[in-house]
Amino acid sequence: MRRLDTRSADFESELSALLAFETSQDPEVDARVAAILADVKARGDAAVVEYTNRFDGTQATTMADLELTQDELKDAFERLPQVQKDALTFAAKRVRSYHEHQKMSSWTYEDEDGTLLGQQITALDRVGIYVPGGKAAYPSSVLMNAIPAHVAGVAEIIMVVPTPKGEKNDLVLAAAYVAGVSRAFTVGGAQAVGALAYGTQTVPQVDKITGPGNAYVASAKRAVFGVVGIDMVAGPSEILVLCDGSTDPDWVAIDLFSQAEHDEIAQAILLCPDAAYIDRVAASIEKLLPSQPRRDIIAASLGNRGALIHVADLDEACAISNRIAPEHLELQVADPKAWVEKLRHAGAIFMGKFTSESLGDYCAGPNHVLPTARSARFSSPLGVYDFQKRSSLIMVSEAGAQTLGRVAATLAHGEGLTAHANAAELRLK
Amino acid sequence: MRRLDTRSADFESELSALLAFETSQDPEVDARVAAILADVKARGDAAVVEYTNRFDGTQATTMADLELTQDELKDAFERLPQVQKDALTFAAKRVRSYHEHQKMSSWTYEDEDGTLLGQQITALDRVGIYVPGGKAAYPSSVLMNAIPAHVAGVAEIIMVVPTPKGEKNDLVLAAAYVAGVSRAFTVGGAQAVGALAYGTQTVPQVDKITGPGNAYVASAKRAVFGVVGIDMVAGPSEILVLCDGSTDPDWVAIDLFSQAEHDEIAQAILLCPDAAYIDRVAASIEKLLPSQPRRDIIAASLGNRGALIHVADLDEACAISNRIAPEHLELQVADPKAWVEKLRHAGAIFMGKFTSESLGDYCAGPNHVLPTARSARFSSPLGVYDFQKRSSLIMVSEAGAQTLGRVAATLAHGEGLTAHANAAELRLK
């Protein structure tokens, strides 16, 4: 695993190289996706069924063959071992309880003229959640997407999940049951995104699509942005561990693994001012790697994009962390509350040695859908606020129309917009 | 102007035709924009200067020629007539005061195990605001984009505004002064978006770009989404007036004009249960149109995309309004507070007869950057919240690690993510 030192003359260029990641779109993927979307928009169900049979190896004849009933979701839950049922239910409860804190409320105030101003908050009517299928089927993602929508008050939640060769994942279906998904279709890819964005004879049109997917899904979400809302275009997973050397090095090694195991282009970085401690983490990595079932992926990820970085002190570590703006940031220091305010850009901050990133992934309560690829500079974890929106409220009093009207007319005339000015002037006494 | 009636057998198809608007992207524009963006990314200042000279007819030799100094902004303000100075200052104060109500604060709570949960709110570091130049130069847009960023605590606000043939608009520069823009460049188009998104030798890279622009700007913003945040891709302006017949029909006619005058594809619609009142509004339109300086644009817009719609009652009007999800919604009824909660989807709601939409455009306080093209179904007015973001906070106690750890391990094993499970298990006693 790469070792860097901020005191090295080459550090700046080494860090830039480490962080460089080509997120640019693939024009060939975009073109294929555009064709699929246009076809789904034009032909609806028939197109979705055809693409699903072609790409997922299914034998559906109608869209009804690709819909999961509420009974199927419930049966999947009932089939689970008790320990999994309890874990899903516990996680859902914690996630719901945390997200209740995010719910926004309407607000208004009156100014001195009696003019009322504010914002009315409403939930989206209907949302679509995309759940990846196949190898990387994550029931926790169902909870993390559907529960905030529920808390927001979204009336209808439509889930899509591809089932390659028709193989359904009981945990995913059970999570949909626990999270209260309204309808579920076993479709994926750009065709699923198109069905949700435009609606088909069977799939209702949604107002927003959330959830991660492969390159085709990402391209399709980007293409339909505007027709519907989207959450974000997710990149590879990242963890940055900022450590003062007080945490068991085995714990830090495993925490780095826990992002590295996602895929070969995930990024795991340690920042530490204690060179001897970095050696101990490196030793833990060597010791613990061979017993990991996903060791090949972890080794590739740590080799490709991982780094152990020796920093001058924790202040410098915070500055580097802000530059990286990581998805997951572990603050493994003795007094995390003293440092957290220096961390300006991160999807989620895991404070103190007991807070492994994986607790946040499943059941601590906060959302695990987080901004990647430095987008924590400008965006936030998925939340209830993504499923609510605001309408400005303005109720101008007769007195207010006199003061506001003169100013508005002056500015409107300045912009050459006479009708705007006249609308204000007509309300003057 | 088109007259529709909800009781007509063809109403559904007529309404659909009225609302249909092709917002799809133009592949030719996208391709030209992609080339410009790639060039700006590769060559920086030199490319920006070349494109600006070519598209805007300027004769700059270096990027410094295209930067406005703080003195130039101040001088532009000082040159204005007193009434315009006062109007800009008054509007800025109102907009600032309203937006102060939107500022989000960090929050935390502790659960029964002593685990701390919450979100830390931070401002974006640096944002870019795009201000259209030329014919449609709107100083009010400078205020509406820059002030929320300021209130959020954004440290640096970079404005770009094209100046075709080098012509600068004093009101726009003065608004930049009043709003506290940090740096300003006289560049526009895709090259300006590229400079802000990637940074050049002179233009600093920003974290988010907001503000409206032409098709090239919209395409460029869409392309750089992910590298930086963007606000929204704006469509033609829209107004929907929902009226019970109690407002002076001249006022309603002028309010319809005030959106129609923006451009030929703007949309102005009236919904009213009183057929005789609709006749009076139609008469007002005929009477008032000839004296409007922008009458050709207004007539084209009302003819192309406008409609006077006779509805059964106000409840039906609300249902149609929710389907349209208009950018601007005037609720011209005797008791607007009784009706506002039925309106689920709108950018801004202007309540009561004294609230002309144009008051909101300039100085009532709320933002005039609003979701268009039905996107009020899922998005909100530009606000302080667009310039702040959240980081989840999780600090699990030792006791919390025991309960959460078992659940996380169960779910992680269920997903086949052993390192995730191990990270939780290592923290168990």
Instruction: Identify which of A138, A229, A233 has the shortest CB distance to residue B226.
Output: A233
Distance from CA of A304 to the nearest CA of B (A): 18
Helices (H), B164-313: 170-179, 189-198, 215-224, 249-260, 275-288, 295-305
- Smallest Cα–Cα separation from B271: which of B209, B343, B199? B343
Tell me the chain A residues in contact with residue B354 when contact means C-beta distances shorter than 8 Å. Answer: 396-398, 400-401, 427
Q: Are B377 and A410 a contacting pair at CB < 8 A?
A: no
Q: How many CB pairs under 8 A join A and B?
A: 401
Look up residue B392 and give its DSSP letter.
E
* Residue A85 CB neighbour total at 10 angstroms: 15
**Pairing state of beta strands B229-230 and B208-210?**
parallel
Q: Are B377 and A412 a contacting pair at CB < 8 A?
A: no
Tell me the torsion sign for CA atoms A194, A198, A201, A205.
positive
Rounded-to-integer distance, Cα B375 and Cα A229, Å: 8
User: B40, B345 in Cβ contact below 8 A?
Assistant: no
Instruction: Identify which of B118, B139, B377 has the shortest CB distance to residue A207.
Output: B377
For residue A24, pLDDT over 90 is answered with no
Rounded-to-integer distance, Cα B298 and Cα B277, Å: 21
Smallest CA–CA distance from A175 into chain B, residue? B411
Amino acid symbol at B186: T
Tell me the chain B residues in contact with residue A426 when contact means C-beta distances shorter than 8 Å. Answer: 248, 250-251, 254, 356
Look up residue A340 and give its DSSP letter.
G
- Smallest Cα–Cα separation from A15: which of A289, A254, A309, A234? A309
Q: Are B355 and A124 a contacting pair at CB < 8 A?
A: no
pLDDT at A234: 76
Note the pTM of the prediction, 2 decimals.
0.96
Tell me the chain B residues in contact with residue A391 when contact means C-beta distances shorter than 8 Å. Answer: 329, 343, 345-349, 376, 380-381
Distance from CA of A49 to the nearest CA of B (A): 25
Choose the mutation target among A291, A359, A406 for the interface with B, i.e. most B CBs under 10 Å.
Answer: A359
Rounded-to-integer distance, Cα B321 and Cα B241, Å: 9
Rounded-to-integer distance, Cα A406 and Cα A402, Å: 7
User: A194, A37 in Cβ contact below 8 A?
Assistant: yes
User: B208, B386 in Cβ contact below 8 A?
Assistant: yes
Distance from CA of A178 to the nearest CA of B (A): 14
Instruction: Identify which of B115, B353, B420 has the shortest CB distance to residue A361.
Output: B420
Rounded-to-integer distance, Cα B315 and Cα A78, Å: 44
Instruction: Identify which of A83, A350, A391 has the shortest CB distance to residue B346.
Output: A391
For residue A369, pLDDT over 90 is answered with yes
Helical axes B418-426 vs B398-414, angle rounded to 10°: 160
Token digits for A67? 């819909």
Give the tens place of pLDDT for each residue, A136-191: 678 999 999 999 999 999 999 999 999 999 999 999 999 999 999 999 999 999 99
**Pairing state of beta strands B116-123 and B107-110?**
antiparallel
Choose the mutation target among B98, B384, B390 for the interface with A, i.e. most A CBs under 10 Å.
Answer: B390
Q: Give the Å distances, CA to CA, from B56 to B32, B138, B210, B227, B383.
A: 16, 18, 21, 26, 31
For residue A279, pLDDT over 90 is answered with yes
Token digits for B218? 């919209």
Distance from CA of A61 to the nearest CA of B (A): 31
Active site residue A78: no
pLDDT at B24: 61
A237 marked as binding residue: yes
pLDDT at B55: 96
Tell me the chain B residues in contact with residue A337 when contact means C-beta distances shorter than 8 Å. Answer: 395
- Smallest Cα–Cα separation from B215: which of B194, B230, B236, B243? B236
Which of the four pLDDT bands, split at 50, 70 and 90, describes residue A214? confident
For B398, counting Cβ atoms within 10 Å of its Cβ (0-12 exposed, 13-18 middle, 19+ buried), the class is middle
- Smallest Cα–Cα separation from B156: which of B184, B115, B119? B184
Instruction: Identify which of B340, B362, B392 has the shortest CB distance to residue A412.
Output: B362
Active site residue A357: no
Distance from CA of A159 to the nearest CA of B (A): 18
Rounded-to-integer distance, Cα B121 and Cα B63, Å: 35
- Strand-by-strand arrangement of the B116-123 sheet: A3-5, A307-310, A267-272, A238-243, A328-332, A348-351, B388-395, B116-123, B107-110
Rounded-to-integer distance, Cα A175 and Cα A227, Å: 28
Rounded-to-integer distance, Cα B357 and Cα B343, Å: 17
Selecting among B238, B261, B327, B330, the annotated active-site residue is B327
User: A372, A345 in Cβ contact below 8 A?
Assistant: no
User: A330, A239 in Cβ contact below 8 A?
Assistant: yes
Q: Are B392 and A87 a contacting pair at CB < 8 A?
A: no
Q: Are B412 and A361 a contacting pair at CB < 8 A?
A: yes
Arithmetic mean of pLDDT, A421-426: 97
Amino acid symbol at B22: E
User: B190, B163 in Cβ contact below 8 A?
Assistant: no
Give the tens place of pLDDT for each residue, A284-327: 999 999 999 999 999 999 999 999 999 999 999 999 999 999 99
Amino acid symbol at B328: H
Q: Are B359 and A405 a contacting pair at CB < 8 A?
A: yes
Rounded-to-integer distance, Cα A73 and Cα A176, Å: 7
* Residue B160 CB neighbour total at 10 angstroms: 29
User: A428, A405 in Cβ contact below 8 A?
Assistant: yes
pLDDT at A135: 64
A415 Cβ contact partners less than 8 Å away, ≥ 6 residues apart? B137, B138, B139, B140, B171
pLDDT along chain B (429 residues), means of 10: 95 93 76 96 98 96 97 98 97 98 98 96 98 82 97 98 93 96 97 98 98 90 91 88 97 97 95 98 98 97 97 98 97 97 98 97 96 94 98 98 97 94 96
Radius of gyration of chain A (CA): 25
A130 marked as binding residue: yes
Q: Are A115 and B364 a contacting pair at CB < 8 A?
A: yes
A38 Cβ contact partners less than 8 Å away, ≥ 6 residues apart? none
Instruction: Identify which of B340, B390, B417 has the shortest CB distance to residue A380.
Output: B390
Residue B120 has φ and ψ, to the nearest 5°, of: -100, 130
Amino acid symbol at A314: L
A214 marked as binding residue: yes
For residue A23, pLDDT over 80 is answered with no
Q: Are B140 and A404 a contacting pair at CB < 8 A?
A: no
Rounded-to-integer distance, Cα B246 and Cα B48, Å: 54
Q: Are B395 and A351 a contacting pair at CB < 8 A?
A: yes
Selecting among B99, B328, B330, B368, the annotated active-site residue is B328
Tell me the chain A residues in contact with residue B411 when contact means C-beta distances shorter than 8 Å. Answer: 84, 87-88, 91, 139-140, 362-363
Rounded-to-integer distance, Cα A246 and Cα B281, Å: 75
Rounded-to-integer distance, Cα A88 and Cα B410, Å: 9
pLDDT at A240: 98
Look up residue B265 and give its DSSP letter.
T
Q: Are B355 and A396 a contacting pair at CB < 8 A?
A: yes
**Pairing state of beta strands A116-123 and A388-395?**
antiparallel
Arithmetic mean of pLDDT, A47-63: 97
Selecting among A150, A328, A357, A368, the annotated active-site residue is A328
Token digits for A339? 């440092």
Mean pLDDT of chain A: 95
Choose the mutation target among A25, A389, A428 for the interface with B, i.e. most B CBs under 10 Å.
Answer: A389
SS3 B156: strand
Smallest CA–CA distance from A82 into chain B, residue? B410
Q: Facing residues of B243 across strands?
A: B332
Do you know the residue count of chain B?
429
Least confident of A15-19, A352-356, B134-138, B210-214: B134-138
Instruction: Identify which of B120, B381, B406 has the shortest CB distance to residue A340.
Output: B120
Give the tens place of pLDDT for each residue, A242-258: 999 999 999 999 999 99
Tell me the chain A residues in contact with residue B90 when contact means C-beta distances shorter than 8 Å. Answer: 407
Rounded-to-integer distance, Cα B324 and Cα A178, Å: 34
A420 marked as binding residue: yes
Token digits for A293? 């079932």
Q: Are B208 and A424 a contacting pair at CB < 8 A?
A: no
User: A224, A209 in Cβ contact below 8 A?
Assistant: yes
- Strand-by-strand arrangement of the A67-68 sheet: A67-68, A183-185, A156-160, A126-130, A208-210, A229-230
Q: Are B357 and A423 a contacting pair at CB < 8 A?
A: yes
Q: Are A392 and B349 a contacting pair at CB < 8 A?
A: yes
Rounded-to-integer distance, Cα B185 and Cα B202, Å: 10
- Smallest Cα–Cα separation from B188: which of B135, B144, B147? B135
CA atoms within 13 A on the CB side of B133: 23
